[in-house]
Amino acid sequence: MQTCSRCHSLAADTDLTCPTCQADLRESSTTAVALREFQNNPRVIMIHLAVAEDACPTCQAMAGTYPKDRVPRLPIEGCSHPQGCHCFYQPLLGEIFP
């Protein structure tokens, strides 16, 4: 399941555009927007791909911590969960300056 960051409509994992506002979900899904923010934030050193407790085996295999420029795209391709991919990104922050 994807959420459009512009109108908050839900879209299927396979949808490339928002069914409501036609935004490009590869750029405008909430996970794509979050990833871009983390990549642009110099304090974020790595990005953790977190999976839901009931995630399918495909998603569980993708869980882990990735360099900022090598993070897998969400939704995970090939996710077999009936409600779709629920994976999300968590930023790992570097040294915090006083």
| CB within 8 Å of 97: residues ≥ 6 apart | none
Indicate whether 18 belongs to the interface with Zn ion (CB under 5 A): yes
Count the residues of the shown chain that bind Zn ion, applying the rule CB under 5 A: 13
22-41 residues in contact with Zn ion (CB under 5 A) are 23
Q: Which is nearer to Zn ion, 8 or 43 (CB)?
A: 8
For the CA atoms of the chain, what is the radius of gyration? 14
Report the alpha-carbon distance of residue 45 to residue 14 in Å, rounded.
30
Piece of 39-47, 61-69, 74-82, 90-98 that binds Zn ion (CB under 5 A) = 74-82
Is residue 56 near Zn ion by the rule CB under 5 A?
A: yes
Residue whose C-alpha is closest to residue 50's, from 36, 39, 60, 37 = 60
Contact flag: residue 10 with Zn ion (CB under 5 A): no
